[in-house]
């Protein structure tokens, strides 16, 4: 299915059904009316949003009456340029009605959604009703190369012609097709590029390509296409590219798989007898191949920042990584913040202190070929998991060289200092530094020295981890040092649970600041000599004398 499926709801009543559908379509997003429901994507106006999706070619699954959808899209319907599948569903999932989107994809989608919700979709396309199974939408593992030819074929059948079936098409066994052994028309199931005006060709995806040597940066996709053509094989019959596990990090292979639009799998040895020839070997199976059953994928490990807490302050990139994740790891509180998760997603919650262990576990899972996401609050690179993940990689470089092949990515997030600063105004408007006051991983003497230097340099200071039960006196000691360099009336911002329901923001002076005012959920920003208060706002001017 091209594009992300937009599951559109108007209120929270439809959210359950929406999530049930989403569980079957990882490539989908739930769109909710901003004023009524919190979903993956917020919209303000139903009609405007639906038309935007339609024009962008996004498949639309609207959980509301067919009438509302039709009226919303009416003005777009004269333009036949784009026609993504559009379905209307009863909010409770009891009815699935394909409305638009050609005879092909919308009915496939309707069937898949119907299967997920255990209802029979209301399919109204004549060819479909007549032949039960849609000839033009073969099941997974088969591909139709020419939809126009297919449409002609179906209209011939509707006009009274009969057909033969050549090759194995198990899904047509029970279909009420008008069959005749001597028919002029034929449905031909074959991996070979074949076809004439009397046949409907469907390719089983049953060809594997083994790329022995991907080190040469030449055009792998082009070579695969050429090899297929030389054997008379149709491009759509290709099921997967396979390659030695030692080439897992090869960009050329990833590009080739993308260009050929097939999965890329890695094996320790060729998954078939590839012969002595180096280069590209092809193998034609009798039946379609499920690429997932061969070797393993290149695993991914994505370290994301959730932002300070609210869904609004999470970046779309982080949200997309979560939606694509198969495994999610992190400290329990943050993992809960990142949810809810689908049934197919595995969640691994651990204690906050087990960062390195969690990072190693993430590499192990990714090395099995899984899509792994590690969550941090705020930004993952600020006193958080991104550094722990790289420490694990660094420490494991001799023992686990295979971790290097994992596709690693770090997705930034809104750090607590930035979120707090924005609520207060612009206290970080000029040079500043961030410091963690936790002495778990560094000696307290280093912290004291750094505070003194920051004080002397007249930097605004943002303190993370200001105080905990295990570190009761350190904060007051830190403030004593700051006071050597700053006036008692220096503005101080205290942000607690910023972006979360319990959010509070206080502006105090350095003179008033003491340990009782802060805890582990507080961000402390101490101004420089130029930091000022205007009304309720705190800011540091962009200049410095
Ligand atoms: N990676 C995180 C920081 C982790 S250290 C980030 O970039 O924000 C944890 C400290 O961050 C807490 O002790 C607190 O000082 C601060 N913090 C995290 N979330 C916060 C929030 N929502 N409001 C205020 N401070 C927060």
> What's the CATH code of the domain at 343?
3.40.1010.10
Q: Is residue 134 part of a domain?
A: no
Distance in Å, CA 367 to ligand 1 centroid: 30
Q: Which of 95-109, 157-171, 372-386 has the lowest mean pLDDT?
A: 95-109
pLDDT for res 128? 58
The residues facing 363 across adjacent strands are none
Whether residues 261 and 368 fall in one domain: no
425: left (phi over 0), alpha (psi -120 to 50) or beta: left
List, for residues 48-65, the tens digit of each pLDDT value. 999 999 988 899 999 999
Distance in Å, CA 35 to ligand 1 centroid: 29
Q: Is residue 266 part of a domain?
A: yes
Testing ligand 1's pocket by substitution, the residue of 313, 314, 377 carrying the most ligand atoms inside 8 A of its CB is: 377
Whether residues 106 and 183 fall in one domain: no
Domain boundary among 355, 387, 414: 414
Tell me the backbone φ, ψ of residue 163, rounded to 5 degrees: -145, 155
pLDDT for res 148? 81
User: How many distinct structural domains can be found in the chain?
Assistant: 5
Q: Is the pLDDT of residue 389 over 80?
A: yes
pLDDT for res 1? 41
Whether residues 421 and 534 fall in one domain: yes
pLDDT band for position 458 (cuts 50, 70, 90): very high
Alpha helical stretches, state H, 26-138 = 46-55, 66-73, 105-117, 126-131
In the structure, which protein residues have their CB atom closer than 6 angstroms to any atom of ligand 1?
308-309, 376-379, 382-384, 415-416, 420, 464-466, 495-500, 520-523
Whether residues 535 and 448 fall in one domain: yes
C-alpha–C-alpha distance, residues 314 and 307, integer Å: 5
Q: Count of alpha carbons within 13 Å of 342, Cβ hemisphere only?
A: 22
Testing ligand 1's pocket by substitution, the residue of 436, 492, 523 carrying the most ligand atoms inside 8 A of its CB is: 523
Q: Is residue 135 part of a domain?
A: no
The C-alpha angle with vertex 500 and arms to 495 and 503, in degrees rounded to 5, equals: 40
List, for residues 390-403, the tens digit of each pLDDT value. 999 999 999 999 99
Query: What's the predicted TM-score (pTM) here?
Result: 0.74
Domain boundary among 398, 414, 430: 414
Whether residues 339 and 426 fall in one domain: no
Greater confidence (81 vs 279) lies with: 279
Distance in Å, CA 495 to ligand 1 centroid: 10
Whether residues 392 and 493 fall in one domain: no
Q: Is residue 23 part of a domain?
A: yes
CATH number at residue 105: 3.40.50.11220
C-alpha–C-alpha distance, residues 8 and 84, integer Å: 14
Q: Is residue 341 part of a domain?
A: yes
CB 372 within 8 A of CB 346: no
pLDDT band for position 129 (cuts 50, 70, 90): low
- Residue 524 CA: nearest ligand 1 atom is 15
Whether residues 15 and 118 fall in one domain: yes
Averaged over 82-101, what is the pLDDT?
Answer: 92
Q: Is residue 131 part of a domain?
A: no
Distance in Å, CA 485 to ligand 1 centroid: 25
Whether residues 219 and 244 fall in one domain: yes
Whether residues 310 and 254 fall in one domain: no
Q: Give the structural domain span for 185.
A: 142-204
pLDDT for res 358? 95
List, for residues 302-341, the tens digit of each pLDDT value. 999 999 998 889 999 999 999 999 999 999 989 998 988 9
CB 279 within 8 A of CB 216: no
Whether residues 430 and 321 fall in one domain: no
Q: Is the pLDDT of residue 158 over 60?
A: yes
Distance in Å, CA 521 to ligand 1 centroid: 6
Q: Which parts of 73-195 are beta strand (E)? A: 86-89, 96-100, 142-143, 163-166, 185-189
User: Could you give the 3-state DSSP secondary structure of residue 159?
Assistant: coil
Averaged over 412-438, what is the pLDDT?
Answer: 98
C-alpha–C-alpha distance, residues 491 and 510, integer Å: 6
Q: Is residue 130 part of a domain?
A: no
Q: Is residue 368 part of a domain?
A: yes
CA 201, 204, 210, 215 dihedral sign is positive
Averaged over 409-418, what is the pLDDT?
Answer: 98
Whether residues 361 and 304 fall in one domain: yes
Q: Is the pLDDT of residue 510 over 70?
A: yes
Whether residues 53 and 94 fall in one domain: yes
List, for residues 236-278, the tens digit of each pLDDT value. 999 999 999 989 999 999 999 999 999 999 999 999 988 876 6
Domain boundary among 164, 189, 204: 204
Distance in Å, CA 501 to ligand 1 centroid: 15
């Amino acid at each position: 299915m091209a594009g992300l499926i937009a599951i559109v709801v108007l209120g929270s009543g439809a959210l359950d059904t929406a999530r049930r559908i989403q569980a079957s379509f990882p490539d989908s997003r739930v769109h909710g009316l901003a004023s009524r429901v919190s979903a993956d994507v917020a919209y303000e106006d139903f009609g405007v949003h639906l038309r935007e999706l339609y024009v962008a070619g996004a498949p639309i699954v609207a959980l509301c009456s067919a009438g509302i959808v039709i009226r919303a899209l009416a003005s777009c319907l004269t333009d036949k340029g784009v026609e993504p599948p559009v379905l209307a569903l009863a909010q409770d999932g009891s009815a699935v009605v394909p409305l638009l989107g050609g005879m092909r994809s919308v009915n496939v989608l309707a069937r898949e959604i119907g299967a997920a919700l255990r209802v029979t979709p209301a399919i109204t396309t004549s060819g479909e009703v007549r032949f039960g199974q849609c000839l033009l939408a073969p099941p997974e593992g088969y591909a139709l190369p020419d939809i126009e030819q297919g449409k002609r074929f179906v209209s011939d059948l509707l006009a009274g012609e009969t057909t033969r079936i050549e090759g194995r098409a198990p899904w047509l066994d029970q279909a009420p097709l008008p069959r005749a052994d001597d028919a002029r028309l034929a449905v031909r199931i074959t991996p070979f590029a074949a076809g004439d005006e009397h046949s409907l060709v469907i390719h089983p995806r049953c060809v594997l390509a083994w790329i022995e040597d991907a080190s040469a940066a030449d055009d792998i996709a082009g070579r695969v296409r050429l090899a297929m053509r030389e054997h008379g094989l149709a491009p759509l019959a290709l099921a997967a590219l396979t390659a030695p596990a030692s080439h897992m990090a090869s960009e050329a292979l990833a590009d080739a798989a993308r260009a050929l639009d097939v999965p890329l799998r890695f094996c320790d040895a060729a998954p078939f007898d590839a012969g002595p020839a180096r280069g590209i070997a092809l193998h034609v199976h009798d039946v379609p191949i499920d690429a997932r059953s061969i070797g393993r994928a290149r695993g991914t490990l994505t370290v994301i920042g959730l932002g300070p807490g609210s869904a609004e302050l999470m970046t779309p990139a982080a949200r997309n990584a979560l939606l694509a994740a198969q495994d999610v790891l992190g400290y329990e509180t943050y993992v809960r913040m990142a949810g809810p998760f689908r049934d197919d997603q595995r969640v691994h919650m651990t204690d906050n202190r087990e960062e390195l262990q969690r990072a190693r576990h993430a590499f192990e899972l990714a090395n099995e070929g899984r899509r792994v996401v590690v969550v941090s609050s705020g930004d993952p690179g600020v006193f958080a998991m991104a550094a722990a993940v790289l420490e694990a990689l660094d420490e494991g470089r001799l023992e686990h060289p295979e971790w290097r092949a994992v596709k690693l990515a770090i997705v930034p997030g809104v750090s607590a200092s930035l979120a707090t600063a924005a609520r207060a105004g612009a206290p970080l408007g000029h040079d500043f530094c961030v410091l963690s006051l936790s002495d778990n991983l560094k000696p307290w003497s280093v912290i004291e020295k750094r505070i003194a230097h920051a004080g002397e340099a007249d930097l605004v200071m943002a303190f993370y981890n200001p105080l905990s039960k295990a570190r009761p006196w350190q904060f007051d000691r830190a403030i004593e040092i700051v006071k050597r360099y700053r006036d008692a009336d220096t503005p101080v911002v205290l942000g607690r649970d910023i972006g979360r329901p319990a959010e509070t923001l206080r502006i105090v002076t350095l003179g008033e600041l003491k340990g009782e005012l802060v805890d582990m959920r507080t961000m402390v920003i101490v101004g420089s000599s130029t930091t000022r208060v205007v009304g309720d706002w705190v800011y540091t001017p962009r200049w410095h004398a």
